[in-house]
Amino acid sequence: MKRIEYPSPAQWQKLVQRPSIKKENLFALVDKVFTDVQSSGDEALRKYSREFDRADLKRIEIPMETARKMAESLPSELKQAIETAKNNVEKFHLSQRETPQKIETAKGVLCWRESRAIEKVGIYIPGGSAPLFSTVLMLAVPAKIAGCKEIILCSPPDAGGNIHPAILFAAVLVGVTRIFAVGGIQAIGAMVFGTESVPKVDKIFGPGNQYVMAAKQAAQLQGAAIDMPAGPSEVLIIADKSCVPAFVAADLLSQAEHGADSQVVLLSDNNSVINEICDEIKVQLQQLPRKEIADKALANSTAILLGDMASCIAFSNVYAPEHLILAVENAESVIGEISNAGSVFLGNFSCESAGDYASGTNHTLPTSGFAKAYSGVSLDSFIKKITFQRLSAEGLKTIGAAIETMAGAEQLEAHKNAVSLRLKQINKLEK
């Protein structure tokens, strides 16, 4: 990790920049793949699976019965762990249901709002070297609670064209309706345009690398909604002298091992704390099977010494991390000062891995500074809010004059007339 001491606030904006591929190269590739998928459908999916994933797709869709059989090979201990996590995720997201509240805004004017599920959603599950079966729970569980009729899952295939059995087990467990062995930009394109095999969806969910994130952003220009720009994983940890350096090092490495383009940031007001944590990172790194990936991520990461805890929190709000860990004394006392973060972990025992897997909160979170404007995935992500209003004759009389005056001032006479005609009818009936 790079070490920086006491940077001025004027330098912070440069320090919060994430490592990235040149945007013009990213979007040029996305445009090419999207064009091919739109014109060639399944043929393009097979072509790019060979090119990007080195997978020869004999079948694009994995039938649910096949998925069940393939999932049987999973160890019972892992199945039980997934079921435990699923139950906790379900409890947390069930608590987010809302009861419609009807409000009389004026006498005779009743307004309320109701939720309706997005009918067809697509969930993207990263695969490759780290099959993120936990993301199936984070996306499909709230989709089922919301009442989505179709849940389409896409995930990169291995060389044999198969999806990891843990992803399949989780998909079957939570009620995914269809599964497709296709990943990367081409998977996003398939869900945007639809192909002979993959249906077009209304909204696309899921994390991914910078290629997937760019594809999701481009999807919006094609009329598909997305959850958020969720790209390479990141964590920022604020640590003071009360932290356990080994714990902090482990949390930093847990994000660094996601991918070479991940980023981890350590902030502290104590130089000795930073030294101890960096020493722990060196020891723990050597024990990791993915140490080469983690090492590359650490090369793009930073340990920053600041003057006090207030400066650490202020820097964090500028960075707007996906995951924020407060390894500080009385962590809950500073919650009110946190304005920008995807998910926050309080104290020495609240490891980020808990949120990734089994605490119940959602791990699909905004990255790359988007936590300044986006929230993580929740039940609300899978529903639309529809407003309703019912006006009685008395209600229209109550607000009718205001509507006529405003419509007239905007020179929208048809709007004004829609009210005037009704008011005349009401007056006639009342005579």
322 is catalytic: yes
* Chain position carrying tokens 């989780």: 170
Separation of alpha carbons 374 and 341, rounded Å: 9
Dihedral sign of CA atoms 37, 41, 42, 47 in order: negative
Encoded tokens for 402? 């205001």
Separation of alpha carbons 131 and 230, rounded Å: 17
- Give the HSE-up count for residue 314: Cα atoms under 13 Å, Cβ half-sphere: 14
Separation of alpha carbons 401 and 422, rounded Å: 12
Separation of alpha carbons 177 and 180, rounded Å: 10
Radius of gyration over every alpha carbon of the chain, rounded to an integer in angstroms? 25
Annotated catalytic residue: which of 257, 276, 280, 322?
322
**CA distances from residue 115 to 7, 94, 200, 386 in whole angstroms, order as listed:** 47, 14, 23, 6
- In this structure, what DSSP letter does residue 329 have? T
Q: Is residue 217 within 8 Å of residue 138, measured between CB atoms?
A: no
Q: Is residue 121 within 8 Å of residue 202, measured between CB atoms?
A: yes
Q: Is residue 423 within 8 Å of residue 397, measured between CB atoms?
A: yes
Annotated catalytic residue: which of 280, 323, 352, 363?
323
Separation of alpha carbons 126 and 132, rounded Å: 6
Encoded tokens for 310? 């207030």
Separation of alpha carbons 218 and 299, rounded Å: 29
Separation of alpha carbons 135 and 311, rounded Å: 34
Encoded tokens for 49? 């699976």
Find the angle CA(318)-CA(234)-CA(205) to the nearest 5 degrees. Answer: 105
Encoded tokens for 230? 């969720």
Separation of alpha carbons 70 and 65, rounded Å: 9
323 is catalytic: yes
Q: Is residue 319 within 8 Å of residue 14, measured between CB atoms?
A: no
Separation of alpha carbons 307 and 287, rounded Å: 33
- Which positions are annotated as active-site residues? 322-323
